[in-house]
Amino acid sequence: MSSVYEVINPATEKVVTAIELADEAATDAAIERAHKAFDTWRHVAPGDRAKMLRSFASVVSAHREELAALEIENSGHTRGNALWEADNVANVLNYYSAAPERLFGKQIPVPNGIDITFKEPLGVIGVIVPWNFPMPIAGWGFAPALAAGNTVVLKPAEYTPMTAIRLGELALEAGIPKDVFTVIPGKGSIVGARFVTHPKVRKIVFTGSTQVGKSIMAGCADQVKRVTLELGGKSANVIFADSDIEKAAANAPGAVFDNAGQDCCARSRILVEKSAFDTFMSAFEVAVKKFRVEDPSLATSDMGPMISAKQKASVEKYLDEPVAFTGSAPSGPGFWLPPTVLLPTSTKSKSWNDEIFGPVVSVMTFDGEDDAIAKANETEFGLSGSIWTRDSGKAIRVSRAIESGNLSVNSNSSVRYWTPFGGYKQSGLGRELGPDALDSFTEVKNVFISTEK
């Protein structure tokens, strides 16, 4: 029997809408329809599949303002972020629209014959999307999966289903055949769990907590089901004394407080070379106090509210450590927290080690390259990070030594749809985006043709 979930606007705490959640029977039915649609979708001519994906991208672009407004209301994202997120969905669809006509196999030299490989789709892909970036992370899963000839069933997070539901409708408007891309709102314990156990779902794409990711991986083992996991992060922002300190400090707030710190790529550990600490902190304080936390629908907003009262309470537990300074936040309704800068006394402190997932950053000093690398790597995570230095040799050495899937030098960017994204260690398995993603949505079939007389 299905249930209903009331979606809350995190900036006002008002109910936005009520969403019917699918039960196991509805989930099974959607998977069966996707499995049936796969037989047709996989045989659509590559050029025709490419045209449909480009049409989908065009329709998303035409509805960018609508999608952004939904995300502001549902997730509390700033207007600037929400527009970027809608554009990212369109850009990712456009990028992968080139893939159907370029899923090249190989001709491999062998004796007594010809050997060729084909890249073939897997079948039904189950995509499980988190609440922190509902639009782009959905696109990172469904765009390459569809391009490779798979069908997709997608479960949005309970907190943030609205843009995913609308994307499902826009797919149909764009000409994507019915049941090729299906959005199923529901609980993770029901819909997500059924994706894992249903034998006709051939792969799971999951973004979320490391704890849940481990349970999904364990569940998939029973069927030797493929998984792509993008999990937690505790990224370091390493600032050397020879860097442009003013620029590093000015950019640091956005690197951790964007989306209220609810970002697995958040640079939530700042490592500053000891000789530059005072200079950096003075400039950083100015930047934090200028960081605008306000109504996310305003074009001037740098940061909106947290997603829920539960998440806000979880973050507040970390605020008993020494505080260097804070920014500002609105009072009244909404799940607001000010940007907060902590000075932990030890690398064993909770704020230094836990993924807080809120607008909280810890700052610590280091002495030289070796100490910076050791402290940056002293974590179970390895998703992202930044290195600030004017020394190109040092930048390369430190980049190679830090255990992380995504690093930026003199920048805090983590995501570009042209390049692979994913983590080391307990930050996940596999890569999304870029050319690498397609390999995880295809099987390689090898065919040998004898030429012997």
Partners of 384 in the beta sheet?
none
Give dist(CA 301, CA 217) in Å, integer.
38
- Dihedral, 376, 414, 218, 199 alpha carbons, nearest 10: -170
**C-alpha dihedral sign at 400, 402, 406, 410:** negative
Q: What's the angle, vertex CA 263, arms to CA 262 and CA 265, rounded to 5?
A: 155
Q: Which of 330, 335, 326 is nearest to 131 (CA)?
A: 335
Instruction: Yes or no: say if 153 and 201 are a contact pair by the CB < 8 Å rule.
Output: yes
Instruction: Count Cβ atoms below 10 Å from residue 255 Cβ, excluding itself.
Output: 25
Among candidate residues 73, 230, 294, 355, the one labeled active-site is 230
Indicate if 230 belongs to the active site. yes
Check residue 30 and give left, alpha or beta (phi > 0: left; psi -120 to 50: alpha): alpha
Indicate if 264 belongs to the active site. yes
Instruction: Yes or no: say if 239 and 248 are a contact pair by the CB < 8 Å rule.
Output: yes
Q: Which of 228, 278, 265 is nearest to 384 (CA)?
A: 265
Check residue 410 and give left, alpha or beta (phi > 0: left; psi -120 to 50: alpha): left
Among candidate residues 71, 73, 85, 264, the one labeled active-site is 264
Give dist(CA 136, CA 158) in Å, integer.
16
Tell me the DSSP string of 50-118. Answer: HHHHHHHHHHHHHTHHHHHHHHHHHH---HHHHHHHHHHHHHHHHHHTTSGGG----EE--TTEEEEEE
**Residue 310: which residues within 8 A CB-CB, separation 6 or more?**
none
Structure tokens at 159: 């907190």
> What residues are labeled active site?
230, 264
